[in-house]
Structure 1
Amino acid sequence: METKTTYLASLLQTCIDKKAHLAGKLIHAHMLRSRLSDDTFLSNRLIEFYAKCNAIDASRRLFDQMPKRDIYTWNAILGAYCKASELEDAHVLFAEMPERNIVSWNTLISALTRNGFEQKALGVYYRMSREGFVPTHFTLASVLSACGALVDVECGRRCHGISIKIGLDNNIYVGNALLGMYAKCRCIGDAIQAFGDVPEPNEVSFTAMMGGLADSDQVNEAFRLFRLMLRNRIHVDSVSLSSVLGVCSRGGCGEFGLHDSNDVLSSDVHGQQVHCLTIKHGFESDLHLNNSLLDMYAKNGNMDSAEMIFVNMPEVSVVSWNVMIAGYGQKSQSSKAIEYLQRMQYHGFEPDEITYVNMLVACIKSGDIEAGRQMFDGMSSPSLSSWNTILSGYSQNENHKEAVKLFREMQFRSVHPDRTTLAIILSSLAGMMLLEGGRQVHAVSQKAVFRTDIYLASGLIGMYSKCGKVEMAKRIFDRIAELDIVCWNSMMAGLSLNSLDKEAFTFFKKMREKGMFPSQFSYATVLSCCAKLSSLSQGRQVHSQIAREGYMNDAFVGSALIDMYSKCGDVDAARWVFDMMLGKNTVTWNEMIHGYAQNGCGDEAVLLYEDMIGSGEKPDGITFVAVLTACSHSGLVDTGIKIFNSMQQEHGVEPLVDHYTCIIDSLGRAGRLHEAEVLIDKMPCKYDPIIWEVLLSSCRVYADVSLARRAAEELFHLDPQNSAPYVLLANIYSSLGRWDDAKAVRELMSYNQVVKDPGYSWIEHKNGMQAFMVDDNGRMVDDEVVVVNDGMSCSSG
């Protein structure tokens, strides 16, 4: 009998391994005929067999019919429920168990972690510890996975300590789980140490470590780790290849092939190399890996390659369609995104929440916010991600009023905001200068779990700064326990926005002293301070730091450098920076043209504008303001008119009030006042006060009293508190000896309680920056001399 039992057990194991449902049922029938159904050992195997074949009801019937059950029986049925993800029944069964061993606890903890109930998994683990059970490597692997998902690094550290205490810290499963936990908790230093402590790291170790490095924006290090993985001949599977493709989709510039590590290749080239590896290892049919390839090409903007992958995939999923829709959305091609949505539905795939979010992004990126709103309104129950996407669309398009209105509707529908929602609405409230609304959002964040959230704190700093409440912004900044670069940047930008450039420099210095590496935005902000303070010496020092830290080819920083040099009068240095930049965009070209305009180099500005057109860069409204300003300041009237006329005809840019102002100024400087008046009368925006103020200034130069009177009267009506028209008109009368008329204008100015602001001048010298102004009694007053930031000088303004 014992031999027969062993033989049947062996057959059942084969059925379990191969999921041979019919053969297993025949063995069960044979057991019933042979009166072996009461054998606990065989019945336990049968429960496992039915569970493996997803026949949970059959497992339970067999369990209920068993006359004798042991701990293995209970563990088998518990495992069956856990495998079927019927966790409520598993909990009930677990509570009914007459005895439990470590397998029982591990089974339930593992199932809870796998199914997203990480907090419950930790609760079961704590209970297991209280009952005196010592965790195994399986226990710790599951618990550490739960800690990573919950970003509970403190619990993870305690588990780390336990693993050392019981001698499991060198176990490969525990080691991989530890580095995965630290990586998910963004403790990258601990993750690197955990990786180093793994005696023989495998593909799981390398994959987890690469993911952690990429998530912390250490893309080059992730590439180097993959190169090390290949060098050490670690087995490369589809998961590790998907992970490194995720790194490629984030960008980076470290070569991981066999070339020199100093070669700088694009992420797309890296991705193509990994693509070759997927073919070499025979993974062309792996759906998950193909989706990763699609995602990599789409995020790098290479939609032609993404299309090629997509059409050749043996099978596609909803994820595949979503990636293609997202890719075209990021390239602002909403029509292609809509085409893929229609094709997706035609082929029988049901769009999910991510599909609609991607479509919303596509509409918003394409500037079609109304189409996005229609899609949003068509959703029966929009998710929080959808709300955030449409709110972000309105905020980015500066339709702050609609964003606030939609946020209120979100509250009426009882949709609870998250940190992203609150940050978006803070941006809109700041844009509308709605301080009271910002305070209310601040109060909500204090009541919710976002009290210490640095992402939201940065938004609050920006909101209070834009509303002029710098002291409140400082208080929030000072309360943040662990400051990141975004918070520092927000505080510096807020100070600069409120003309506190001296303090902005102080913050920049403190940031460096704290070991924080400045970002592109940090440098752009501090360069803006140099420009506003006309401090060329400070700007040059910042330029040196930028060069040392490798930001010279960044278009954002380069544009700020050009602006700083131009405003400080060193236009040759600005042009040198421009010529040295590898990656120029429209903003870069605009800054250099504007720099020439500021420094009276009209011919150079026009030549650069022509070079811009010749390079294929598309000019925008700001480009034309810059080049038309240059023409105006340099007397290139006819050239300016020719460029103005080409705006809409050749480049599709609608002239706005700023462009008309430049032409009016140009005509006025040349004494062609009649042409300027005729143009104003034809303009769609002739009731803008700037237009008339520019014309009035020209009338003063050419003593055209009649036109000056008309311009001044328009300004009295359009901008009653502006002192400029009173002063200019009075000066015109004075210059012509018409003293009674001049006196009448000044009396009118006094009657209307209009006050002229005093003049304010700057002088930079070796000890700092000194400012001079004239008080109401005509006396010269000097402001304080300020020295900041390692000898860099600036004024308090």
Structure 2
Amino acid sequence: MKRLILRHCHSPPQINSIQSPLRSKFLSLCDSGDLLTAILLLNSADRCFLPSEPIIFASLLQASTRSFSFPFGLQIHSHILKAGLDADRFIGNSLLSFYFKLCPDISVTRKVFDVLPVKDIISWTSMVSGYVRAGLPVESIKVFISMSDFGVEPNAFTLSSAVKACSEMENLGLGQCFHGKVMVRGFSSNRVISSALVDMYGRNSRIEDARKLFVRMPEPDAICWTSVISAFTQNDRFEEALGFFSSMLQRISGLVPDEFLLGTVLSALGNLARSRQGKEVHAKVITSGLSGRVVVESSIIDMYAKCGIVDDSRQVFDRMENKNAVSWCALLGGYCQNGNFNAVLDLFQEMDADDNQYSFSTVLRACAGLSAVMQGKELHCHFLRIKGGRNVVIESALVDLYAKCGLVSYAHRVFLNAATKNLITWNAMICGFAQNGQAGQAIEMFNDMIKGGTRPDYVTFVAVLFACSHTGMVEEGKKHFRSMNEEYDISAGIEHYNCMVDLLSRAGMLEEAETLVLDSAYRDDSSLWAALLGACATHRCPALAERVAKKMIELEPGYHLSYVLLANVYKTIGRWNDALEIRMLMRKRKVRKEAGRSWIGAQNSSLDSQRYVNSFHSASVEFKELAAGMEAVPYSAAQLELKSATAPVKEVTYLLKAQQRNLQKEVFATFAVKLI
């Protein structure tokens, strides 16, 4: 009983005289950051003479939070319990703030919250926002519902945190419910909530709703501008994102963009391949004193890589004093985007990537680009060994790797065993089926994704239209092409038009394909006309072929494919003289056909070797030797070993099997290349 009385005796009369000096002493120590002295003073004080004013312990907790002193904060928490001040709301909220910011285990923070005798709106808001910051949006919404059950009314900060949770969950329906709650409670003009709503609509691809909400804001601040610019960038509306950025600079005089806004702008510029403007923003970063920030410098690396200037990316990376996982992954991704897959594998050897999922996924993409399934399997095993669990980013990359290497059954197995399937996982599997000739399964997978509530994006429709074109599903393809804009507000890009031209051309609907190209925003893109010209050769339509080829040559006089495809059309219908004239025209204009290139894995091409593939060029000496060797082989099984004058440099062994049928030969060759 005595202990209980002492616990709830906040202001014992016998120590009133010392409270004021103690308070001044502790507050002075908190201001100076001398936590060690404060803790020693608390530990040395007699229990009856402990300070009993909540502001003292709240100040000590805040000082511990500022100095990232988790052990000191735990000791202060124990003294709070001894002093019987744990029921004070001010101290309770300070404890929540301390644990949220310093404790890595959010379940411990939840226990602190659960034992608070009194929970006010600040306590509930701390839990709602804390779960969002911890990446647990579902738990955040559960806390919000519990708060409503207890009759606590949300304030603007609570609602903004709940909207952010909906953004993380990409739950449009729930986000719209909170939008309605915001309007009912009269918070529509609140900038924090408005910026959160813009972000929520942007993440759910409702970009026009985000625009309307932003336009209604009377005086948007920098946070609101950043939200709308990020929303348009995330939805690949880069031109409009840069337009908003320009408007922001005009409307807010003297604004110095922060690192997050500059990172978003650099991302938009990179995706538009605007290196000149990107360099201007880079200069702005330097003059603004932000060049040492990892976030913005990683964005600069990514921007230069997307503009195809990987050497500049490497220079920025090498000059960085502090490199984290983001900067390493930015350079890895840059090499991967530019097809320099060997550099990705080399760079991966230099970094400590055991704890970074994105570096693993980037290297797996490089393996997919090289069709290096052996190295991909090594990485798969390595990840399982160090992590021993599942990860949606890695599993999506594995699905993509195995599908691109032709191992669709492996890819499907990884997909089925994935604990979580996001849009990237679905896209990888749909693309895998489509690219490996299993179009029916790709369409079925797309329908399953829609039924499961996952919203398709730009890439999804590229895969679906590709699948339709390779199975002759003309009406199905037209339906999906229309639904992109009508149902999902996705503007058709060059890839979608290429698939549609291929779909219509395969079905012999060449005139309709030509009309589609002429009516599109990409009528001046030579790749569309090239696809149509190739179909003219298949269906023997010289009149259309000449018209299309003329258009292609107007657009790109130096593009060799225009001449080659037209010559092939003439050959198919027996107009050999016309085909010869096209070839002569190529010589006259000095247009050269690009030589083909292929590669095979070199001996010992594992992750530990420095050379991963051996490249063969159709104009190279090795290729000519290979062709000569194949001609020398009789039509029965044989082995041939060729050695050039520089025999130590290379040894090529060919194992050939051939059959003769009329005047045609079918040669199956298996060869190994040893580089010394």
Q: Say yes or no: TM over 0.5.
A: yes
Residue 387 of structure 1: aligned partner = 225
Residue 183 of structure 1, CA deviation: 6.1
Residue type matched to 2:487 in 1?
Answer: G
Residue 204 of structure 1, CA deviation: 6.7
Residue 327 of structure 2: aligned partner = 487
Q: Aligned equivalents of 2:286 and 2:44: distance in 1?
A: 43
Distance 1:725 1:448, change over 3 A: closer
Structure 2 matches for 1:292-441, cutoff 5 A? 292-295=126-129, 300-301=137-138, 303=141, 306-307=144-145, 309-310=147-148, 312-327=150-165, 331-332=171-172, 335-345=176-186, 352-365=190-203, 366-367=206-207, 368-376=209-217, 378-379=218-219, 382-412=220-250, 413-441=253-281
Residue 567 of structure 1: aligned partner = 404
Residue type matched to 1:143 in 2?
Answer: S
**Aligned match of 1:528 in 334, 344, 365?**
365
SS in 1 for 2:351: helix
- Contact 2:310–2:334 (CA under 8 A) maintained in structure 1: yes
Residue type matched to 2:216 in 1?
Answer: M
- Contact 1:597–1:627 (CA under 8 A) maintained in structure 2: yes
Distance 1:471 1:615, change over 3 A: closer
Residue 290 of structure 1: aligned partner = 124
**Aligned match of 2:433 in 596, 602, 614?**
596
Distance 1:524 1:385, change over 3 A: same
Distance 1:574 1:360, change over 3 A: closer
Residue 490 of structure 1, CA deviation: 0.9
SS in 2 for 1:652: helix
Residue 31 of structure 2: aligned partner = 142
Residue type matched to 2:147 in 1?
Answer: I
**Aligned match of 2:93 in 236, 239, 245?**
239
Q: Is 1:681 aligned to 2:506, yes or no?
A: no
Q: Is 1:540 aligned to 2:394, yes or no?
A: no
Residue 500 of structure 1, CA deviation: 2.4
Q: Aligned equivalents of 1:206 and 1:601: distance in 2?
A: 66
Residue type matched to 1:465 in 2?
Answer: A
Cα shift readout 1:536-575 (whole Å, capped 9, x = no counterpart):
1111111112223438633322221111112122222212
Q: Aligned equivalents of 1:350 and 1:608: distance in 2?
A: 40
Q: Aligned equivalents of 2:445 and 2:210: distance in 1?
A: 35
Computing the radius of gyration from Cα coordinates, the structure with the larger value is 1
Residue type matched to 1:361 in 2?
Answer: D
**Aligned match of 2:536 in 659, 679, 699?**
699
- Contact 1:465–1:495 (CA under 8 A) maintained in structure 2: yes
Structure 2 matches for 1:726-765, cutoff 5 A? 726-765=563-602
Distance 1:643 1:573, change over 3 A: same
SS in 1 for 2:601: strand
Distance 1:774 1:204, change over 3 A: farther
Residue 487 of structure 2: aligned partner = 652
Q: Aligned equivalents of 1:508 and 1:179: distance in 2?
A: 42
- Contact 1:563–1:591 (CA under 8 A) maintained in structure 2: yes
Cα shift readout 1:277-310 (whole Å, capped 9, x = no counterpart):
8677543x52222223444677624657635633
Distance 1:765 1:569, change over 3 A: farther
- Contact 2:197–2:210 (CA under 8 A) maintained in structure 1: no
Indicate the RMSD between aligned Cα atoms, in angstroms: 4.7
Residue 495 of structure 1, CA deviation: 2.0
Residue 636 of structure 2: aligned partner = none
Counting aligned pairs with the same residue, the percent is: 26
Distance 1:244 1:701, change over 3 A: farther
Distance 1:362 1:579, change over 3 A: closer
Cα shift readout 1:431-465 (whole Å, capped 9, x = no counterpart):
33333333333333333442322122212222222
- Contact 2:137–2:166 (CA under 8 A) maintained in structure 1: no
Residue 406 of structure 1, CA deviation: 4.3
Q: Is 1:715 aligned to 2:555, yes or no?
A: no
Q: Aligned equivalents of 1:726 and 1:716: distance in 2?
A: 8
- Contact 1:730–1:746 (CA under 8 A) maintained in structure 2: yes
Residue type matched to 1:389 in 2?
Answer: S
Residue 284 of structure 2: aligned partner = 444
- Contact 1:394–1:403 (CA under 8 A) maintained in structure 2: yes
Q: Is 1:201 aligned to 2:39, yes or no?
A: no
Q: Aligned equivalents of 2:382 and 2:249: distance in 1?
A: 47
SS in 2 for 1:572: helix
- Contact 1:648–1:655 (CA under 8 A) maintained in structure 2: no
Distance 1:291 1:394, change over 3 A: same
Residue 627 of structure 1, CA deviation: 3.7
Distance 1:178 1:308, change over 3 A: closer
Unpaired stretches in structure 2, ≥5 consecutive residues = 1-11, 46-50, 606-612, 627-648, 651-676
Q: Aligned equivalents of 1:467 and 1:326: distance in 2?
A: 32
Cα shift readout 1:115-164 (whole Å, capped 9, x = no counterpart):
xxxxxxxxxxxxxxxxxxxxx665333222xxxxxxxxxxxxxx57x859
Residue 750 of structure 1, CA deviation: 4.0
Distance 1:726 1:185, change over 3 A: farther
Residue 90 of structure 1: aligned partner = none
SS in 2 for 1:763: strand
Distance 1:297 1:203, change over 3 A: same
Residue 647 of structure 1, CA deviation: 5.8
SS in 1 for 2:256: coil
Q: Under a length normalisation based on structure 1, what TM-score does the superposition of the two structures give? A: 0.62
Q: Aligned equivalents of 1:395 and 1:463: distance in 2?
A: 13
Q: Under a length normalisation based on structure 2, what TM-score does the superposition of the two structures give? A: 0.72
Distance 1:718 1:621, change over 3 A: same
Residue 630 of structure 1: aligned partner = 467
Residue type matched to 1:423 in 2?
Answer: G
Q: Aligned equivalents of 1:643 and 1:397: distance in 2?
A: 23
Residue 410 of structure 1, CA deviation: 4.4
Distance 1:474 1:712, change over 3 A: same
Residue type matched to 2:531 in 1?
Answer: V
Residue 501 of structure 1, CA deviation: 2.0
- Contact 2:61–2:95 (CA under 8 A) maintained in structure 1: no
SS in 1 for 2:419: coil
**Aligned match of 1:772 in 616, 625, 646?**
616
Distance 1:679 1:411, change over 3 A: closer
- Contact 1:565–1:573 (CA under 8 A) maintained in structure 2: yes
Q: Aligned equivalents of 1:448 and 1:371: distance in 2?
A: 32
Q: Aligned equivalents of 2:63 and 2:587: distance in 1?
A: 72
Q: Aligned equivalents of 1:626 and 1:375: distance in 2?
A: 37
Q: Which one is further off, 770-779 or 445-454?
A: 770-779
